[in-house]
Amino acid sequence: MPICFEPSENSEISKRHYNQIAREQMRPISRKYDEEEHSLPDEWVDFWWRTGRQGPPSKLESEGDGMITVCIQAEEICWGDAALYLRMPGPALGGSAVSAAGTKEQRNRFLSPFRGDGHPIWGAMAITEANAGSDAAAIQTTADFDDETQEWVLNGSKIFCTAGEGAATVDGGIVVVWATVDKSAGRGGIKSFVVPANTPGMRLIGCEKKLGIRASDTATLLFEDCHIPKDHLLGSAEVKKRDPKKTGDKGFKGAMATFDASRPIVAAMAVGVGRAALDFVKEELERQGLVVRYDAPPRELTAIERDLMEMEAELQAARLLTWRACWMMNRGKPNNLEASMAKAKAGLAVTRITQKAVELLGASGYSRKILVEKWMRDAKVNDIFEGTQQINQLIVARRILDYPSAMLR
């Protein structure tokens, strides 16, 4: 089936709807919460929980847009503010992990509160540790099964947990924790567990002070004898005594499948930030009398016109790679290669585009009077989280060359 790059009517409705939210609800408070790091943006959280998450008044799923619509939403809202996007109440990465590795019963149980009408709640995923970043198999947090209580007991610490503060401390939230049930088994021993907010033994240590996305809560969590029920292991909860690495029917591969869904979303976030910077630069230069001449011969173009054309090409390439990964996911096709390609390209593109935007605007671009310098700071994280640029390029190389991880590091 060929890919159609023309957005459906419902996708266009979605795009206009979320752009209006970005323009009217996010841009006016963007600078405020960048400067007031760790403050909860109450007006944004309340708006999104009451109104924003309901979406435009149309049945978007009727045309099978699925993940493409999700990425259109991410692009438009991050055009407004990427940090506020990450601060939105909802299942977020925790929900993606439950969807990827959980059973049908677990998906219904853990995700249904996010569809309710109660107070705003958050989901988070806790993977990264001080000595386990890009190599998730190096995780040291442990999960031991207590035969007496029939519970899992978690011990360890996690850093850089996006939305971790809300997910760990607001009733109804969930944190999906990656832990090993058998260190000797390497990747085979890694499982994912759902820890509800305010579970005894899970403690919020604090939030990172960051270069960018400063309105987002990026938390450090500590687990000390944290007991959770047996069926909070994502996947099958059957426990085989003295062979814990066989618990869970999806394990590490199921948990890693989370990234096949989340990486295109991160790529779409990057496209949104890059487009915000590019749109602003073009509008500002047009105000000064410089309009890009797309029909002019290359030899007649100015250096600034060439820069803007290159920025546009980088942005469009990242967007199309993102939509390709989403299109494949919508149709149940393996998209591990395409998701990593989109993430790698978008992270690199948004870094270049926002840096060039600051450069083209000169002293104004460097000033805090406008948002361009903020977009440059916000952009860089897209090249880091959900797998660094280097890791995603490594995944792409492995898939293209059909090499196992042991042969290409």
User: How many angstroms separate the Cα of 216 from the Cα of each of 160, 168, 209?
Assistant: 11, 14, 10
Calpha distance 233→103 (Å, rounded)? 10
CA–CA dist 171, 403 (Å, integer):
45
DSSP, collapsed to helix, strand or coil, labels residue 240 as coil
Amino acid identity, position 107: R
The burial class, CB within 10 Å (0-12 / 13-18 / 19+), for 3 is exposed
Report helix angle 336-361 to 251-287, nearest 10: 30
Q: How far apart are CA 150 and CA 343, in angstroms?
A: 40
Residue 59, CA atoms < 13 Å, CB-side half-sphere: 3
Which residue in 129, 314, 338, 386 is the catalytic one?
386
DSSP 8: P
Q: Known catalytic residue: 386?
A: yes
Tokens of residue 250, six digits: 């999806």
Alpha-carbon distance values, 2 to 5, 62, 107 (Å): 10, 19, 32
Residue 50 host element (H or E): helix 42-50
Q: Which residues are catalytic?
A: 386
